[in-house]
Amino acid sequence: MTQIALVWLVYQLTNSAVLVGVAGFTNQAMGLIITPLVGVLLDRWNLRYVLLATQLVSILLSSTLTFLTLSNNINVAWIIVIGTLQGIVKAFDLPARQVIIPRLLDKKSDTYSAMASHSFLINTAKFVSPMIGGFLIARSGAASCFLVDSISYLPFISAILTIKVNPIINNTSNQKAQIWKNLKEGFVYAYDFLPIKHLLILQIVICFMGITHVNLIPIFAQEILKGNAETMGFLMTASALGSIVSGIYLISRKNIIGLGRVIATSAAILGLGLIVFSQSTNLEVCLVFMFIIGMNNTLTLASLNNFMQSILLDEDKRGRVTSIFTTGFLGILPFGNLFFGVLAGHLGVTNALLFGGICCIIGAYFFSRQLPKIRKVLYPIYAELGLLPQPNKG
């Protein structure tokens, strides 16, 4: 809701696609700078305290947005400053959530199911929030979204205080002076491990070329569909409903075997959906393809993350590798927002979406070419996790 409200607010204040891209850039830019370092710290720090701190700061920032908007003191400069601070919080919060989930489990083979359930819960929230956000903006203004966001962190704080986290053997806790060495170890591990390297490359392509379409939806709703905030809300709700469907599919899967093929296919369909959506001027057709886009966008990114968390057996490197993946999301996304904001300003929102869709298809093709090599590397890991059928000793 906050993301939708901020993008809508910037466009209403400036009527500039470029500034929409700038606002999206500042909200995510800190992810590229500090998220890799955050991974080293997460391998050392108490994750419960990290998550408590991120929630409290998030409450403060959302409350400030609420006050500024209600008092009519909000402007693009405030949005950029608060967006930058929110980006710093996300750099700690998102990887910490990912890292802590496997540490709540008794068996590593349950990691996929836990991550799939986590993705499903997030996407269920995404289904509800765009619909409510669009209607709230239309009837009560953006401040109502910020207020709801401020309150929404309280239940999560309660959950953090009650969960039980399994301890791990930490090999970096006494190496305070070797933070750069630990950081390098994480990057070397991610690069040398073939499956993680190619998962990361595809994630970067999808985040830069595909997921940035979200920031262009308010412009598309007004300029192409001649709609308003409710039109934007309908489009985002259709996308989030697709995310729900993909979440149900991922939960229905028993393990990660075959997930690589799913990732390649969904990335290609995402690109195709963006291409067709960009060429449509009919709201009903756009709603159908926003459903397809949302379903395959979530299916691709959630599968990439679930796959990575499931095959990562070195627990003392989980924080660093997770942060590298988060950098591929938080760090690349702002440049995608900035690039597509400028592209939409010069070539139009239709051509920007078309270009992004074509690039997603190209990325899916090259990833699919690597699948045979990835399967060979993962076979021993599948065996260690007990995911392969055991031979009949008789």
Question: Is residue 358 predicted with pLDDT exceeding 90?
Answer: yes
pLDDT band at 274 (very low <50, low <70, confident <90, very high): very high
Between these two residues, 199 and 393, which has the higher pLDDT value?
199
pLDDT band at 298 (very low <50, low <70, confident <90, very high): confident
Closest CA to 221 of 149, 124, 286, 296: 286
pLDDT in tens, 23-51: 767 766 666 677 778 878 887 788 889 99
> 1-165: which CATH architecture?
Up-down Bundle (1.20)
The CATH code that applies to domain 176-388 is: 1.20.1250.20
Radius of gyration of the chain (CA): 21
Which two structure tokens, joined as six digits, stand for 148? Answer: 């709801």
Question: Is residue 105 predicted with pLDDT exceeding 70?
Answer: yes
Between these two residues, 226 and 172, which has the higher pLDDT value?
226
Residue 31's pLDDT is 64
Note whether 2 and 62 are within 8 A (CB): yes
Summary mean pLDDT of the chain = 83
Question: Is residue 266 predicted with pLDDT exceeding 50?
Answer: yes
- Report the distance separating Cα 305 and Cα 293, nearest Å: 18
pLDDT in tens, 148-175: 889 989 998 998 888 888 776 655 444 5
Residue 390's pLDDT is 58
- Report the distance separating Cα 179 and Cα 269, nearest Å: 41
Residue 181's pLDDT is 78
pLDDT band at 392 (very low <50, low <70, confident <90, very high): low
What share of the chain has pLDDT > 70, as a percent? Answer: 92
Question: Is residue 391 predicted with pLDDT exceeding 70?
Answer: no
pLDDT band at 368 (very low <50, low <70, confident <90, very high): very high
- Report the distance separating Cα 271 and Cα 37, nearest Å: 32
Summary count for the chain: helices (H), strands (E): 16, 0
Residue 173's pLDDT is 46
Rounded to an integer, the average pLDDT of 174-184 is: 67
Please enumerate in sequence order all residues whose Cβ is within 8 A of that of 280, keeping only pairs 6 or more positions apart, or say none. 286, 289
Between these two residues, 83 and 386, which has the higher pLDDT value?
83
- 374-384 burial string, b = 16+ CB within 10 Å, else e? beeebeebbee
CATH 1.20.1250.20 spans which residues of the chain? 176-388
Residue 60's pLDDT is 95
Question: Dihedral sign, CA of 139, 141, 145, 151?
Answer: negative
Q: Which of 118-122, 260-264, 330-334 has the lowest mean pLDDT?
A: 330-334
What share of the chain has pLDDT > 90, as a percent? Answer: 22
Residue 177's pLDDT is 52
Note whether 361 and 210 are within 8 A (CB): no
Please enumerate in sequence order all residues whose Cβ is within 8 A of that of 108, keeping only pairs 6 or more positions apart, or say none. 102, 313, 385
Note whether 111 and 105 are within 8 A (CB): yes
Question: Is residue 141 predicted with pLDDT exceeding 90?
Answer: no
Between these two residues, 64 and 341, which has the higher pLDDT value?
64
Rounded to an integer, the average pLDDT of 95-99 is: 85
